């Protein structure tokens, strides 16, 4: 499943839904990015994640299909959240 959304989401709740009723799920791989202050002397206050509707979903579908070809996945979930993310304080 692929979702592109600007709203916040609860990672734990998403994992619960993904594996609900499927006791064969034995592992989860994830990437959750954080904004670091690595802007040199100017610093970074936020990161703006953009996307191109249609193109984003198409590429994510290709990535998901490749993962399903390479590994015997019982489920997959990709959430892309294009929005402004403030640097951690």
Q: Which domains does the chain have, with CATH numbers?
A: 1-22+47-89 (3.90.1170.40)
CB distance 79 to 3 below 8 Å: yes
Predicted confidence (pLDDT) per residue in 2-55, tens digit:
999 988 899 999 989 988 888 888 788 888 888 877 766 777 888 888 888 899
Q: Is the pTM of this model over 0.85?
A: no
User: Which has the minimum average pLDDT: 55-59, 65-69, 80-84?
Assistant: 80-84
Going by C-beta distance under 8 Å and a sequence separation of 6 or more, which residues neighbour residue 86?
35, 45, 46
Task: State the Cα–Cα distance between residues 12 and 1, nearest whole angstrom.
Answer: 17
Task: State the Cα–Cα distance between residues 69 and 89, nearest whole angstrom.
Answer: 41
28: enclosing H helix or E strand: none
């Amino acid at each position: 499943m692929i979702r592109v959304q600007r709203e916040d989401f609860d990672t734990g709740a998403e994992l619960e839904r993904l594996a609900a009723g499927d006791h064969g799920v034995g592992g989860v791989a994830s990437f959750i990015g954080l904004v670091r202050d690595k802007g040199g002397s100017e610093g970074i206050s936020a990161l703006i994640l953009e996307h191109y509707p249609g193109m984003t979903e198409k590429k994510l579908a290709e990535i998901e299909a490749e993962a399903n070809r390479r590994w015997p996945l019982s489920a997959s979930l990709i959430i892309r959240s294009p929005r402004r993310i403030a640097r951690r304080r």
